[in-house]
Amino acid sequence: MKLPARAAGVLLHPTSLPGPHGMGDLGPSAYHFVNWLQGAGQSVWQWLPTTPPDGTGSPYQSPSAFAGSPLMVALEPLVERGWLTDLALPEGGWPTGRADFGAVGAWRLAALRSAAAGFATRATADEHAELQRWAGTQRAWLDDYALFMALDTLHAGAPWWHWSAALRCRDAAALAAAREQLAEEIAFWTFVQWCFDSQLAALKAYANAHGVALMGDLPIFVAHHSVDCWARPELFYLDAQDQPTIVAGAPPDPLGPEGQHWGNPLYRWDRMAAEGWAWWAARVQRMLQLADAFRIDHFRGFAAYFEIPADSPDARHGRWRRGPGRALFDALSAALGPLPIVAEDLGLITPDVHALRAALGYPGMKVLQYAFGGDAEHDYLPHRYARGTAAYTGTHDTDTLVGWWRSALDHERRFAGTYLACGAHDQQDGQGVQGVHWAAIRALCNSVADLVVVPMQDVLGLDSAHRMNLPGTMGGHNWSWRFDWAMVGDAPGRRLGLITAASGRGNFKLLGLGLPPKSGPSSYGSPVVE
């Protein structure tokens, strides 16, 4: 499904959905949310990366660039197919407002292991054949992933560079022995990925049938403790002990004088180019199997990226290095056709980044929260947008719109209040919702931006307690936010639908104006010449 020429959507990671099993997933609430999006006139549902999260719940530090998150596998379909028969919730059930990834993750993995055992003994011959057919189509990444996860389980999560030398260096005999020894565990991780892919394919088909496109998210870098680094260490800057020599980050700035030390190993772009960019082509092809379009995180890194010596405690000794540029994307387009990409070009953006994005024809991002620190010439103000723009009230890394309003500098709030015509609408309006978020949504929808995306927190007018992530911090409440349907009610969807329809981004009939059929100037009568 292609994105409409003038689209609107909502940013909500599936883990934030309601549900009885401790966190959101690809189950019934996901289908309910598709119905809600359709009713609200939305044509895009944007997600964060669907790859497995790290121990803190972050989907941006994944052990695999290709696999789906086991925690997003819905348990209800496994019960319906008779593979999972004992699904006992903790006494009192799981909390609804936040996901406790540690406790919930362990419980859900145990349930998946029970389902895998049930599948092995109770699945039909056709179901076994279905799994095998799917596995055959995904073998290029699946075999290494399932073995890596089996070894990760065997080593109790110890990083792969602490494994035996034979396993660390992928000695053929050692890998063959591990595949034989861990066959049952490998089968488990294969089963989980099949469940993920099957459920996501079904949800995507349902969403597309209801006029909703799924928009994924592709992080530029991978984690050091990942199957990608273990399987293809030659594609990364690693030393003889498999440790990164240089890592990714961001340079110092006035708000962060030490910069940002992300720690992701950096790519050997020269070796990837020598292979015809095959690793990236496989990664993007996998993304296109799972989503209709996708955002590329940290797009500026493809023009130039910031490298930091791995032994440096911060980013002050880093330097800029040239990225692969257009050569990579030209190769991807040649192999896969036109790519439905939104380029995340936020932060320190230099002319070379703008030139690369423009040459490729990818929409760039504008975030309204960043627009009010200067004057009326700021590029993030809606009247400054051009076509080929994806506009957001905020992202997973920003405060909520209401939270931003309450903490904004006086100049910013007065400028925003005048620009958005919401004045002092940090007060309650007659509908019991915050006025500033609706003013912001309306301003974006009325702009010429091709795509407008609003985080669900901003649709609901929620404050800072509901933000998704606080950059530079780990753990805490990051990534764990969830809503429940009682928070939604009828008003937000109806209002969002009206704004979307009135701005030409949804079905105009949602306005309920009872207008006659659309017609040309002749509807007013043609002059009669005698």
Catalytic residues: 297, 344, 397
- Do 197 and 36 touch, CB atoms closer than 8 A? no
Enclosing H/E stretch for 196:
helix 183-209
Query: Is the four-CA dihedral 235, 238, 239, 243 of positive or negative sign?
Result: negative
* Helix, strand or coil, per DSSP, at residue 248: strand
Query: What values do phi and psi take at 305, rounded to 5?
Result: -125, 160
Residue type, 450: D
Distance from C-alpha of 358 to C-alpha of 343, rounded to nearest angstrom:
10
Question: Looking at 69-164, which runs of residues are DSSP E strands?
Answer: none
Distance from C-alpha of 340 to C-alpha of 293, rounded to nearest angstrom:
5
DSSP state of 260: E
67 Cβ contact partners less than 8 Å away, ≥ 6 residues apart: 51, 52, 141, 142, 145, 193, 196, 227
Residue type, 136: G
* Tokens 């780990």, located at residue: 474
Say how many Å lie between the first and final Cα of the chain, rounded.
53
- Do 69 and 53 touch, CB atoms closer than 8 A? yes
* Helix, strand or coil, per DSSP, at residue 265: strand
Angle, alpha carbons 135-139-143 (nearest 5°): 100
**Ramachandran sector of residue 14 (left: φ over 0; alpha: ψ -120 to 50; beta: rest):** alpha
Strand partners, 253: 256
- Do 294 and 286 touch, CB atoms closer than 8 A? no
Closest CA to 197 of 148, 137, 153: 137
A 10 A CB-CB count for 211 gives 17
